Amino acid sequence: DGWDVMVGARRVDRLKALAAEIGATAHPLDVTDAASVDAFVASVGDCRLLVNNAGGALGLSPIADADDGQWRTMYDTNVLGVLRMTQRLLPALEASGDGQVVTIGSIAGYEPYPGGAGYNAAKFAVRAVMGVLRQELLGRPVRVCEIDPGMVETEFSLVRFGGDAPRAAAVYAGVEPLSADDVAECVRWVASRPPHVNVDQLVV
């Protein structure tokens, strides 16, 4: 669609390969690290669109056995990561005259499930943050959209289960899950709406 894209992630080798594939600029980014976010944002310049994609789940333990370290990491990545990125890029987004924040939430932000409490809590929080942001920016030129996918076959489950490939594969057995491309297409569609079309939420 003609966007001048800057991509950020922790795994620099993959990031560079992706950037080369799509013609983007790559910059290392860890959304849990304020200094990393500052360095990323310092190299952004003009900005009309922020896509908050970083997130993920760790573990599937019932609350009785939950690991507070995993919960802390999930909150830091899914929620505070969104805060750090959004807060720092808001001035540029607003100055563009037609800014937009698109954040990837999850169906887990609507539907709690056994073993999901830490991730559910984080994604419910993301939804709250996006709802507040939308109200706080009312009347200013920054739209706020949350895209909430259900089951998407990426490395999501491999990460959740600490690299246990058979357990991760079992999540998608017998179903046709969404793909990363399906979600990317949702982002592309939202980002290409004209300024008066504010897509608040997409549950996919």
Task: Report the catalytic residues.
Answer: 119
**Residue 107 makes contact with ligand 8X3 by CB under 6 A:** yes
Task: List Cβ neighbours of 144 (8 Å cut-off, separation of 6 or more).
Answer: 100, 101, 103, 130, 133, 134, 137, 198, 200
- Minimal distance, residue 151 CB to ligand 8X3, in Å: 5
> Which residue number, 93 or 126, has a Cβ lying nearer to ligand 8X3?
126
What token pair was written down for 142?
A: 């920054």
Interface size with ligand 8X3, residues (CB under 6 A): 8
**Residue 150 makes contact with ligand 8X3 by CB under 6 A:** yes
Segment interacting with ligand 8X3 (CB under 6 A) among 17-25, 102-110, 126-134, 194-202 = 102-110
- Minimal distance, residue 40 CB to ligand 8X3, in Å: 24
The C-alpha atoms of residue 131 and residue 69 are separated, in whole angstroms, by 27
Quick one: angle between helices 81-95 and 117-136, nearest 10? Answer: 20
- Minimal distance, residue 74 CB to ligand 8X3, in Å: 11
**Residue 178 makes contact with ligand 8X3 by CB under 6 A:** no
Q: Which of 26, 49, 108, 133 binds ligand 8X3 (CB under 6 A)?
A: 108
Q: Which of 52, 78, 100, 106 binds ligand 8X3 (CB under 6 A)?
A: 106
Position with the least CB separation from ligand 8X3? 106
Where does the chain show beta strands of DSSP type E? 6-9, 25-28, 49-52, 99-104, 142-148, 201-203
56: nearest Cα among 68, 74, 72, 40: 74
Q: Which of 24, 60, 137, 151 binds ligand 8X3 (CB under 6 A)?
A: 151
Segment interacting with ligand 8X3 (CB under 6 A) among 81-89, 129-137, 149-157, 195-203 = 149-157
- How far, in whole angstroms, is CA 152 from its chain's centroid? 13
> Which residue number, 49 or 104, has a Cβ lying nearer to ligand 8X3?
104
Question: Tokens 């058979």 appear where?
Answer: 166
147: nearest Cα among 101, 85, 193: 101
| Contact (CB, 8 A) for 84 and 77 | no
Judged by the rule CB under 6 A, the positions of this chain that interact with ligand 8X3 are 106-108, 116, 119, 150-151, 156
